[in-house]
Structure 1
Amino acid sequence: METTDLSTLPVPLHPGLPMLGNTLAFLRNPLGTLHTLQRQHERLVHLRIGGRHQYLVLRPEDVKHVIQENHRNYGRSPAFEILKIFLGNGLLTSDGDFWRRQRRLAQPAFHRQRLAALTTTMIAETANWIVELKQQRSKQPVNMSQAFMDVTMRIVCKTLFGSDTTGKLDGLSAALDDLNYLANKKMLSPLRFPYSWPTPDNVRSKRARTQVDTFIYGVIEQRRQRDEDKDDLLGMLLSAEDEDTGEKMSDQQLRDECVTIFSAGHETTAVSMAWTIYLLSQHPDVLMRLQAESRTVLGDAVTPSPDLFRSLTYTLQVVQESLRLYPPAWIMSRRAHNPDSIGPYTIPAGDTALISPYLLHRDPTNWPNPDRFDPDRFVPGGPKDQLHSYAYLPFGGGPRLCIGNQFALMEMQILLAMLVRSFELKATPNQRIIPKPLITLRPNQSIWIGLS
């Protein structure tokens, strides 16, 4: 009797259009398309997007296989080549031995002991921001999307560079927003002109990149000339040495890592906070519990002690549940160097594995009533702790787990606790906020909230 090698079975193909495959469905409604795929397929599904063969991985255990257990077989997908134009060759976009070296060099800067020293800076900047919000407060709602962009920019500047850069933040923030917008546009466009062509978008992105580079290289040069040993992130990166060679980062590497930290520590945190405040404005019962905890634990101190924030257990649950519903990195891609078997199926060499934290986080198999906002899912020892570890991936997983995940979680807890301690939040009527999946999962419009 003949036997079949199950590991060579083709992955089920999701039907699409002639020539275009599934491209139009993803361009028109990526999140809706993901939900459709989740309902119709069980483990993996073969898609044709942008002329490439891609395989959506649906189960947490298979996601773990791709990004942890067999991670050396998977590298950055072609999409990251576009990001590399804008961000450089930092931890987010680099690969292989270079990435491993950079990760080793940068990792000590994000150790918990180091982050403890940066927490004081986060608290001080948040306190200044709260004072400004109180001064600006009126009967009109506040654009909280922009407010969070402003404060996270200040925090990342102070924690990264230490020195007061307030006078230069407006131009830097606008340039970074331009780079983010243009990278999104280029990734979504089916027609991509070479970066060397003088198209309006290329000219605009080069101008923005020059502005960012001038600022960051200037700070690096100033720090090297002064030979200052500062306890900020740049100081830690400057002093980092390769264990094997004793080599330090070049100015180019420092620049690329700084831009990556800016992008990850500024835009993604601000977007996550905007989603969190929006959810709270729609769930007054959760907001009341959160306010009670923050006011009891933090008291009336303008700048509470960093130790107090460790006691904000419900605040952390709120942050975690918000990141479940709206993970900034809503989809990830990895290209297979060699063929890989997942259960009875094979992902061919050169093709791409797609992983969607957004989809994993809303899988009803693991998350009952997945669209409901319920921070009690994350109570210690509760429902989340019973799930597969890869059912929840707001910061990715495996060796490429976001290096700044603890930094981001602490920043979000500080911002959230100090904000709700100081204000009552009121939802703005008739705001129809829905997710807009760009490079990060943004709201479709600015979120306006009444503060009183």
Structure 2
Amino acid sequence: MRHLFADLSAFRRDPLGFMREKGNGTDEPLVKLALGPQPVYLVNSPELVKPVLNHTEDAIDKGKYIKKLKPAFGNSFLLMSGKESKRRREVVHATLGRSTVLEQVPAMAATIRQLAGALALEEQFNVHKVTGPLTLRLISVALFGHQVLSPADELALLRAVHLIEHELEEDMFRIWPRGPKSWLRRRRKYAEAHRIMGLVVKRVRENAGSSSVLTSLEEMGLSDNDIRDEILTMLLAGHHTTASAAVWVLYYLTTQAGLADRIARECAVVTDDSGDIVAADLKNAPVSMALAREVLRLYPSAWWFSRETKKTVEIAGHTLKKGSALIICPWQMQRHPAYWDDPDSFRMDRQFNNKAYIPFGVGPRTCVGMGVALLELQLLALEFASAYHLSAVSETPAPEPRASLTLIPPPIELSLTIRENIAFDEAAA
């Protein structure tokens, strides 16, 4: 019989490889993991994902792994359950739904063009260092309107994320309590991060327009602290995950022969005479959307979800006692050879209605930011491909990402040169 911690060393050494080894090496729908005294199971069948995520909350709900995010997200809907969570979620979903966010396409596209123009003046740039501020600016535009966050606010929020991310990563799968020095260090970092984030949220509330999500939150009768937590959740979760995916969008635009040309021609189809992307025509841009979806298959920013049993339940022939953790790993399932041909290869001809495609979860609890995230990635591809040629400066193929709370991309260096109008001429021919 294996001891309770038998898998812990392998998991800490290589979480992504560990999950693939455990899941891809068996056809068992649930795989028990020895990560400590709490029973932990890897959900290894796409058929179980929706039933687990959408189970009644009295039996399966957000567990201790999700609750460990509270130092960053406070008492937001992301960590709550029940009617109040649903009430808040519906307000956020109404703001971030793709049909609503499409109204912000002109401002979002202009934001991307402004960044690209600045990067074209540089010899080369680290992609992740620019996608972080960019996606923070884009989610701010989607939520609150144009120019609500100043450049100083953006830098402050990025600093706050940096302060807490390592501490959250350390705590997520920790078995033993922290020592006094480590506990004090974490407390100081969280206090500084919360101070910074509180100041930024204060300015957001001062500058946001009357039609923003802020008005909807205030009309719900939430306290100032609750509104702060919801705003921070949307800003931090909304930009951090998309920033990682955006790195890979630009990487594949650079490394896949002919892809940038195809998307440049596609961009010509969805722009008006002034060169602005027409939101209603984005449905006619399938190549850029397929790029975004394939990037999220290979590099799902949220590489794991978790739930916990609140009472004894039966799942796939297993009796799970109260307190059992269920881990769903999109990284593993979206690269499982049983569900995908040539799973590690970048291919845009895939069928993304596959049940094993879960970068945003499934069902009624699908990530509320799915629409805006896909829109941001699509606009990024269209704007960069139509105006610039991208060249790789760092090594290719790029190294694998690092598993933290999200997938952290490796350092990728690119350079830009202005594109000639050949692609547009071909589109018009």
TM-score normalized with structure 2 length: 0.88
Superposed displacement of residue 410, structure 1: 0.9
Residue 151 of structure 1 corresponds to 134
The SS at the match of 2:248 is helix
Residue 191 of structure 2 corresponds to 206
* Preserved CA contact (<8 Å) 2:23 2:42: no
Does the C-alpha gap of structure 1 residues 40 and 294 become closer, same or farther in structure 2, counting only changes over 3 Å?
same
Does the C-alpha gap of structure 1 residues 302 and 236 become closer, same or farther in structure 2, counting only changes over 3 Å?
farther
2:267 counterpart of 1:281: no
Superposed displacement of residue 190, structure 1: 4.5
Matches within 5 A, 1:418-433: 418-430=383-395, 432-433=398-399
Residue 74 of structure 1 corresponds to 60
Residue 7 of structure 1 corresponds to none
Structure 2: distance between partners of 1:90 and 1:284: 43
Structure 2: distance between partners of 1:320 and 1:113: 18
Superposed displacement of residue 70, structure 1: 4.8
Structure 2: distance between partners of 1:375 and 1:195: 50
Residue 137 of structure 1 corresponds to 122
* Preserved CA contact (<8 Å) 2:263 2:382: yes
2:125 counterpart of 1:160: no
Superposed displacement of residue 188, structure 1: 4.8
* Preserved CA contact (<8 Å) 1:184 1:438: yes
Does the C-alpha gap of structure 1 residues 192 and 121 become closer, same or farther in structure 2, counting only changes over 3 Å?
farther
Structure 2: gaps of 5 or more residues: 418-429
Superposed displacement of residue 424, structure 1: 0.8
* Preserved CA contact (<8 Å) 2:96 2:142: no
Residue 11 of structure 1 corresponds to none
Superposed displacement of residue 153, structure 1: 1.7
Structure 1: gaps of 5 or more residues: 1-14, 242-247, 378-382
2:404 counterpart of 1:438: yes
Deviations along 1:60-109, one digit per CA (max 9) or x if unpaired, are 11112211255652111211222111211212222233312322343322
Structure 1: distance between partners of 2:144 and 2:304: 30
Residue 110 of structure 1 corresponds to 96
Structure 2: distance between partners of 1:124 and 1:192: 48
Match of 2:24 among 39, 53, 74: 39
Superposed displacement of residue 300, structure 1: 7.3
Matching residue's letter, 1:160? L
Does the C-alpha gap of structure 1 residues 300 and 324 become closer, same or farther in structure 2, counting only changes over 3 Å?
farther
Structure 2: distance between partners of 1:302 and 1:257: 36
Structure 1: distance between partners of 2:273 and 2:118: 17
Deviates more, 1:27-36 or 1:92-101: 92-101
Matching residue's letter, 1:409? L
Structure 2: distance between partners of 1:59 and 1:102: 31
Deviates more, 1:192-201 or 1:51-60: 192-201
Structure 2: distance between partners of 1:250 and 1:449: 45
Superposed displacement of residue 56, structure 1: 0.9
Residue 421 of structure 2 corresponds to none
Residue 5 of structure 1 corresponds to none
TM-score normalized with structure 1 length: 0.84
The aligned length equals: 413
Residue 72 of structure 2 corresponds to 86
Does the C-alpha gap of structure 1 residues 142 and 218 become closer, same or farther in structure 2, counting only changes over 3 Å?
closer
Deviations along 1:96-131, one digit per CA (max 9) or x if unpaired, are 333123223433223444322222321221222222
The SS at the match of 2:41 is strand
Matches within 5 A, 1:39-438: 39-42=24-27, 43-70=29-56, 73-134=59-120, 136-138=121-123, 141-162=124-145, 163-166=147-150, 167-193=152-178, 199-220=184-205, 222=206, 230-239=210-219, 241=220, 248-298=221-271, 301-377=274-350, 383-385=351-353, 387=354, 390-430=355-395, 432-438=398-404
Superposed displacement of residue 334, structure 1: 0.3
* Preserved CA contact (<8 Å) 1:281 1:427: yes
Superposed displacement of residue 206, structure 1: 1.0
Structure 2: distance between partners of 1:324 and 1:343: 25
* Preserved CA contact (<8 Å) 2:263 2:287: yes
Superposed displacement of residue 337, structure 1: 1.1
Give the superposed CA RMSD.
2.5
Matching residue's letter, 2:118? E
Matching residue's letter, 1:293? E
* Preserved CA contact (<8 Å) 2:23 2:31: no
Structure 2: distance between partners of 1:157 and 1:185: 29
The SS at the match of 1:200 is helix
Structure 2: distance between partners of 1:39 and 1:229: 49
Structure 1: distance between partners of 2:23 and 2:39: 18
* Preserved CA contact (<8 Å) 2:105 2:277: no
Matching residue's letter, 2:83? D
Structure 2: distance between partners of 1:59 and 1:423: 42
The SS at the match of 1:93 is coil
Superposed displacement of residue 32, structure 1: 1.3
Residue 27 of structure 1 corresponds to 12
